[in-house]
Structure 1
Amino acid sequence: MSHDLSFDVVIVGAGIVGAACAYHATLAGLSVCVVDRGPLAAGTTSAGEGNLLVSDKEPGPELDLALLSNALWRSMADVPVCGTTFGARAELDPKGGLIVAASAATLPALAELAERQAAAGVEAEPVAADGLRDHEPNLADGLAGGFRYPQDMQVQPMLATALLLRLARDAGAVTLLGESVTGFARDGVRVTGVRTSRRAVAAGAVVNCAGTWAAEVAAHAGVRVPVAPRRGFVLVTEPLPRVVRHKVYLADYVADVASDSAALQSSPVVEGTPSGTVLIGATRERVGFDRAWSPDAIRRLAAGAVRLFPFLADVVALRAYRGFRPYCPDHLPIIGPDPRAPGLWHACGHEGAGIGLSAATGRLIAQSLRGEATDLPLHPFRPERFDEVSA
């Protein structure tokens, strides 16, 4: 086994969160190695829709993280990469979001949420029922109104991951793909590197960006992070003209995101992509790593989409795919150093928001690794908080 590699930071996981951590760490002048047991973006990232949202979050630490991330994504748009810009290559689309109320009874709660979000820095524009089709001409009849969120964006997550890692490699980062982390090197209680299936890699710090497998990685250091998989399905239609302009969803989606239920939940989420396909979500259920297809989930997706956009009843669904969101019980990610295992940092547990939150997560991790003041306080995201609750 080789023992000749040494870095400031080893990042475990080559999904979008790991890629963002690698990018920001190299920007901060740190030497970086990214390790993953598979290819890049092979886990949750490959099953994501690419949402960069502020509209679906209640005011609080996660929304603060989303707003910081939104600004960082926008700043990435013009970064040169691969002969063009990051925004163009990664299909960064500032299309905005549109949340609609199915009935007049649900509109007051949506308006109250928008008001609280606006106080936290979110742009939320009310849209009357008779104005919805000015934004989305193909919406169904009878909707009660809604709010438009111009800050919401979308990115192609696998492209974004590949580009972030390309930029990190251009700055000197090394990637070791196809190598499982089998344990940590230790100096007393301190984590000083990783052991993989092929070699030992020394590091001043290790960052756990292993997504739904973050608990397994943390266990190598004898610490607990309660990250569990939450399965979701997405339908993909045949390519169409740009018939859906925004990310459009019913207000029920916000409640589903915040739910603790393990049972199957679904609420319609529909959005077009630059390639012309329409992505249809969203379902959530906690069934472990069961990859079985759920006809019930697929039926719910199709019915919900047609409820919002009746024309979709005549459109061909090309395929469906599923993935596992890294779920935390309090719906907040785990970001920062772990005092239970000095030398170990975590950046995991983002559930369905990891693509959107990855930019800010990477920046905060890099600042923390450098011992700098972070743009946002890390206390709400601290890894040991679950031990405090159970104590």
Structure 2
Amino acid sequence: MTLTMRTVLREDHEQFRDQVRRFVSREIAPHHGQWEKEGRVPRETWLKAGREGILLPAIPEQYGGGGGDFGHAIVVIEELMRVLATGVGFPLHSDIVAQYLLAYGNEQQLARWLPPMARGEKIGAIAMTEPGIGSDLKTLRTHARREGDTYVINGAKTFITNGLNCDLVIVACKTDPQAGTRGISLIVVEAGMPGFSKGEALDKIGLKAQDTAELFFDNVRVPATNLLGEEGKGFGYLMHQLAQERLMVAVRSPAVMEAMLEQTIEYTKNRVAFGQPVFNHQNTRFKLADAKTKVVACRVFVDHCIGLHFAGELDATMAAMAKLHATEAQGQVVDELLQLHGGYGFMREYPIARAFVDSRVQRIYGGTSEIMREIISRSL
């Protein structure tokens, strides 16, 4: 199955793909290796992406966005994954942070934050996970105390994508510690606010170009006007957005597998072992046949879920199944493809090696595979 055979995306999505592919090939693919060494994507690249209309593709034009829909967001994700630009934080910025602002922000907030985000001048992040407790929102320790027309925030967050580069971060915090999940609110903290600091880049095994960091809040005074939506409604907001966020994770999987399958077929046809191309060995062809079958099955299922989302029919269970199936398949397929490279598959100069380590986190972030199984089991 190829991209041209797919029916879930429209012609305007594919036209946008041409634009994104040119940008990624010119401005990202040649430099991603260097960014992996530096641990972040330079701001100049964000500004270039803004000028090219790559950022906030699904945000209305009146707020500086591309005026598209989730299909345009999918195209950006797929084109980044096609070249293994797994460390570029555009999707989280454009399709999670900006979508939260669009869904729950007031007109003043939208006019203030979205246009500079679309231009790449302000980089967005969202902070839920905390040290020691992970993503269990019921046990959040970061709290915000209301004092007049400000909130005073104290706490810490970890594993924050775009953490070093971020200019604004949506912080999940307790505004009423006694109210459980009904006491959680979302407050936007901006870079430069006294008491808001960023830790060193976290040393991850993969996603090396992604600036992932801890964030610290020490009596940070934030204007009450930075409250996103209503106080105490934060947990509901987070839950409402999870289906799309998990689908975004699932979308990455077939794109990576397709790219690595194509690269591995080419490698095995050119690599000679025991007097003939590796591809000529029956075991190799059978392994590739299995991989092709898994990749196509994953693509068809993920595209089906994309179609459900377009129709407003993607529920939490189906989103969990999409993420579970796609990410588990990705881990299996990439591992098998690496094996076909032999010792060279263990060298980071080969794309399959980078795909192998970067794929591992797919089964963790956005909700682990175990959490996905728990969600699915509730529908049985």
- For the criterion TM > 0.5, the same-fold answer is no
Give the helix-richer structure, 1 or 2: 2
| Structure ranking higher on relative contact order (CA contacts 8 Å, 6+ apart) | 1
Give the strand-richer structure, 1 or 2: 1
**TM-score where L is the length of structure 1:** 0.26
